[in-house]
Structure 1
Amino acid sequence: MTTETRAVASPPVPENTAVRTPWRRHFALLWSGGALNGLGTMTFTLAVPLLALAQTGSPVTAAWIAVAGMLPRILLHAPVGVLVDRVDPRRVMIIGQAGRLAVTVLLVPPVLLWNAPVSLLIAAMAVHGICSTLFATAATTAVPHLVPEEHLAEAVGRNEARAHGTQMTGRPLGGLLFGLAAWAPTAFNLVMSSGALLTALFLPRPVRPAPVDRGGEREPFIEEFRAGFRWLYRDRLLRSALIVCTITNALFQTVWLLIMSTVTHEGFPPVLIGVVLAATGVGGLLGSLLAPRLVGRFRPVHMIALCLWSWMLPLGALAVAHHLDPRWLMATLPFTWGGIGFVGAHMNVTVGTYHATHVPRNLLGRVLGVDQFFAQGAMPLGLVCGGHLLEAWGPGPTSALLAAANGVIALVFTVLMVILNPPRARTGNATVAVAPDPGPL
């Protein structure tokens, strides 16, 4: 199936217009809103299960409440991607934050103040997860509409740094606030949501240019939904990167479970858990700051291969450390998890920059949604498989198997994508308003 690609002619732009365009201020608003959204989400999703545990004493109830917050982030990315491709992302961000405010005000205080049924917290976490997914997906889609193409790698790097920074600070902050008062994390989330809503209101209206009239009715929702899958299927590098990221996400969930199991089994001090959790944030933050320079120098396929081989160092160190003195193992755990975060930041910036520069903007939300669905959906699968693997084999053999599996992935990707069949240089630009139909799957 073939269709004619239509580009949109734009009027000539004066040379000094780009200098006057306040894109840095707009991106700063977008970045700040994402940071407030991330901090509020981290504290809220940690504190609400703790509140349920304090109210009921049931770990099962707390676990189901945590799952209620995770499922929307896994299941809704692709449908939300269709939504943000249909409408102005700014409007979706405003709706998402308004929904978070409503949840925080209406569903949590009755449990805190009047001993309402804890089942309200399940609804609160589910709706909060939906609203956070709306905001985060729309904010990511808005980046190439606000930032000039030559600065996209820098913008994606800053967003990646923000994600690791909120991860590094949000959960400890949530625990601290809950220790001070059970209502404190909810009040904090209320303030963060209000701030994120204000940043969205101050963004330019609309964020994206008006859609091009294609001379016909809009395609059905299911067809627009499938378009994201089709584009990923037809773009060989994106398809390969998605497979790599999905498999490594599952592997790294097993690594996390392995590290937590090792800390408990070896009787290491509990503070080491905090150090390990902070290490991934520190490593990811440093990697995010350095990644844009490398992304600008190397082709995406070479960066992905480099990341895969670089992961061998922390994974290999963990496999070797299980056969050494426990003091070496204790020092290796934060190095492993921090190293995975450092390299992972380079991978995320590489793929994110490729998305922003090579995917047509009217398809970006759908492509990002499909990508996130598979990449994040692999995480619970990795935890379950990793738990069975640890029980059957133990920490030492499992760590060696993880390193070997990553090595196989790196070798296969390097041979197929770099040596035998490197991707050809693309022509055209991601700024065309109407994308070619990728054809049937």
Structure 2
Amino acid sequence: MGSSLPETGASRVEAVPPVQSDDTAHAERTTHAEPNEHATRDIRLFWCANAADSLGSQASGVVLPLLLLGLGYSPAVVGLVAGVSTATGLVLGPLVAVPADRGARKRVMFWSAVVSALAMGSVAVALAVVEGRPPLLHLLAAVLVERTATACYEAAARGTVALISTPGNLPRVVAGLEAGDRGALVAGPALGGMLYQASRALPFVLDAVSYVVTAVCVRAMRSDLRADRTDRADGADRADGADRPDGVDPADRADRADRAAPADGADPAARPAPPARRSVRGTWSALAAEATAGFRLVRSTPLLRLVLVWTTTVNGVLAALYYDAVFTLQESGHGGTPMGLVLALSGAAGLAGSLAAPRLVRGLSPVRAVVAVSWLMVPLAAALATAGGPWTYGALFGGFCLIMPLATVILQARAIQGTPPELQARAGSVLATAAGGAAAMAPALSGLLTAHAGAAVPALACAGVLVLLALHTTFGATRVLTTGVPERGRGA
């Protein structure tokens, strides 16, 4: 169940292939150039699964607060439900990415969609049967179950693009996913509102059906969706190999030393087994290494750090500006319809930008494109400080959503290229968690600034933050995007 807030598309994105040596290029052709013979069909199915999921989530997400308020619950309860569900997804994302990277990607995606369909279906049944007043505990449980399942699905889906697409086709695949999200942002809230007027249960019926469609599309995909690995080396070892001189876990090294040098010259076969405590410690160490492998990879890879900083900053800024617009329009006496107009204009502009991004990527320098988008966002944010009506807000937010897909397509596609297949889900979860955390905290900061300093201050503060981001991107993008993806980032 998603939010109707405009997004940057931080979970997707590409550019020209990086500079490669002959060996690296051969390795990439072996692992990426021919993912499988069903790639074209699977890409379309993945687009359909993503679009259906986004449409249902937007339709139900926009009416959930209205439902809770209509049932007599306070705004504090509404905020609690939204906050808990968001926090659940942020916390679980990096953890549930481990089984997806370890070969269970398709199973995780399918069963997550099924569980989400059952959770939303239970809400629809309760609204239709229990006199339209299901208990709060039921609603909260259903939202948490759905949010948990969605976190599992999103974590597994992040590694799918690299497995079904060739490097040269990444811009088109990522832009197609972005277009599905933007289209859902335009149609979902309006459709959810109309269905809600007819019956409170209908938006949740639509959400449940959308998850069924997602599950069917995932099941129909013929790709194995498991990362090919030439050895059994853990992705965690690759992620932090630079931190270990010989690439061996210290606990494993101690165990090997003990086995290699038994005390008093005793026969190694007669050596007693190591204490159980050491095995447990080694197990927990391995689990921790698995769970944090994505974080260590992002920390050690300049390209992924650039993507992290850019997407996190832009997500936070956009969320802060959106809520600043909500506060300003409310104080000026506008109702909910103007914000619907702002969202519709933003979604339409974002859809246009996503559809145009693949063609623009082929004709523009990736460095110039990312830097240009970063600087163009600065005057848009500053202009929001003087905006007063919904049409002005809609035009300015539309400007954001029109230009951002170009940069996000470039950055995310390069991130996909620069991440080993067996670490795609975990690295993607780290990026998504950081961006989602910034978007979750930004409304509170925007509210504080508005209450204590005035409605124009959040927009000016965001413009200042974007200036810093543009300066960082100007130097960082030039250095990172022109030198190509590091060989270790490819898992070579």
- In the alignment, is residue 23 of structure 1 matched against residue 89 of structure 2? no
Q: What is the aligned-residue RMSD (CA, Å)? A: 3.1
**Which residue of 1 is the match for residue 186 of structure 2?**
168
Distance in 2 separating the partners of 1:19 and 1:210: 10
Contact 2:339–2:390 under 8 Å retained in 1: no
Q: 2:342 aligns with which of 276, 285, 292?
A: 276
Alpha-carbon spacing, 1:216–1:381, altered in 2? closer, same or farther (3 Å): closer
C-alpha separation in 2, matches of 1:81 and 1:201:
19
CA deviations 1:159-199 (Å, max 9, x no partner) are 11111111221122112111110111122122212111111
> Corresponding residue for 2:87?
71
Aligned mates of 2:235, 2:335 — CA distance in 1:
63
Cα deviation, residue 300, structure 1: 4.3
What SS is found at the alignment partner of 1:76? helix
1:439 matched residue in structure 2: none
Mapped partners of 1:316, 1:218: distance in 2: 43
The separation in 1 between residues aligned to 2:331 and 2:339, in whole angstroms, is 13
Cα distance, 1:170–1:344 mapped onto 2, change above 3 Å: same
Aligned equivalents of 2:173, 2:344: Cα separation in 1: 24
Identify the residue that residue 234 of structure 1 maps to in structure 2. Answer: 300
> Which residue number in structure 2 is paired with residue 192 of structure 1?
210
- CA drift of 1:210 comes to 5.2
SS at match of 1:21: coil
| Deviation larger for 20-29 or 224-233 | 20-29
Point out the more displaced range, 91-100 or 52-61. 52-61
| 1:139 is the counterpart of 2:205 | no
Are 2:326 and 2:339, in contact at CA under 8 Å, matched by a contact in 1? yes
Q: Deviations over 1:253-303 (max 9, x none)?
A: 221112112222233465322211112111211111122233334454443
SS for the counterpart of 2:333 is: coil
User: Is the alpha carbon distance of 1:292 and 1:199 closer, same or farther for their aligned partners in structure 2, counting shifts above 3 Å?
Assistant: same
Gapped regions of structure 1 (runs ≥ 5): 1-5, 437-441
2:85 and 2:147 in contact (8 A); partners too: yes
DSSP-derived class of the 2:422 partner: coil
Change (3 A) 1:224 1:411: same
The equivalent of 2:469 in structure 1 is 409
Indicate if the aligned counterparts of 1:355 and 1:364 stay in contact, CA closer than 8 A. Answer: no
**Is the CA contact (8 Å cut-off) linking 2:108 and 2:153 kept in structure 1?**
yes
Confirm or deny: 8 A CA contact 1:34 1:196 kept in the other structure: yes
Deviation of 1:8 (Å): 12
Deviations 1:331-351 (A, max 9, x none): 421111111112222232122
Q: 2:122 & 2:335 partners in 1: Cα distance?
A: 40
Cross-structure match for 2:435? 375
Query: Which letter maps to 1:381?
Result: M
Q: What is the TM-score of this pair, normalised by structure 1?
A: 0.85
Letter in 2 for 1:127: V
- The separation in 1 between residues aligned to 2:223 and 2:477, in whole angstroms, is 41
Q: Are the structure 2 counterparts of residues 117 and 406 from structure 1 closer, same or farther at C-alpha, using a change threshold of 3 Å?
A: same
Equivalent residue for 1:83? 99
Mapped contact 1:108–1:124 kept (Cα < 8 A): no
Map of 2:483 onto structure 1: 424
**Which range moves more in the overlay, 255-264 or 68-77?**
68-77
**In the alignment, which residue of structure 2 is the partner of 1:38?**
54
State which structure, 1 or 2, has the greater radius of gyration over its C-alpha atoms: 2
Q: Structure 1 residues 44 and 269, CA, compared in 2 at 3 Å: closer, same or farther?
A: closer
Which of these residues, 333, 336, 341, is aligned with residue 267 of structure 1? 333
Q: Which amino acid is 1:143 matched to?
A: V
Identity value in percent: 23
- The one of 387, 399, 403 equivalent to 2:447 is 387
Shift, 1:72, TM fit: 2.7
| Residues 150, 306 of structure 1: alpha-carbon distance in 2 compared, 3 angstrom cutoff | same
Q: Residue 393 and residue 133 in structure 1: after superposition, are their counterparts in 2 closer, same or farther (change >3 A)? A: same
Asked if structure 2 preserves the Cα contact closer than 8 Å seen for 1:161 and 1:289, the reply is yes
Q: Deviations over 1:86-133 (max 9, x none)?
A: 123211111111111221344552354224422110010111111122
Residue type matched to 2:373 in 1?
A: C
Work out whether 1:247 is the aligned partner of 2:306: no
Give the secondary-structure state (helix, strand or coil) at the position aligned to 2:421: coil
Alignment of 1:327-406 (within 5 A): 329-406=389-466
Query: What do the CA deviations read for 1:331-382 (whole angstroms, capped 9, x no partner)?
Result: 4211111111122222321222112222111111111000001011011211
Does structure 2 conserve the Cα–Cα contact (< 8 Å) formed by 1:318 and 1:399? Answer: yes
Letter paired with 2:44: A
Alpha-carbon distance in 1 for matches of 2:159, 2:421: 8
Which range moves more in the overlay, 291-300 or 223-232? Answer: 291-300
Go from structure 1 to structure 2 and tell me whether the alpha carbon gap of 1:175 and 1:197 turns closer, same or farther (over 3 Å shift): same
Which residue pairs with 1:292 in the alignment? Answer: 358
Q: Helix, strand or coil for the counterpart of 2:226?
A: coil
In the TM superposition, what is the alpha-carbon distance from 1:227 to its structure 2 partner? 1.5
Specify the alignment match of 2:113 in structure 1.
97
**1:236 CA displacement:** 1.0
CA distance in 1, matches of 2:480, 2:461: 28
Give 1:311-322 correspondences, 5 Å limit: 311-319=377-385, 321-322=386-387
Greater shift after overlay, 263-272 or 398-407? 263-272
Structure 2 unaligned residues grouped into runs of 5+? 1-22, 238-285
CA change 1:183–1:422 in 2 (3 A) is closer
Please say if residues 68 and 122 of structure 1, whose CA atoms lie closer than 8 Å, have aligned partners that are also in contact: no
Please give the alpha-carbon distance, in whole angstroms, between the structure 2 residues aligned to 1:159 and 1:51.
29
Worse-superposed segment, 391-400 or 156-165: 391-400
**SS of 1:204 mapped into structure 2:** coil
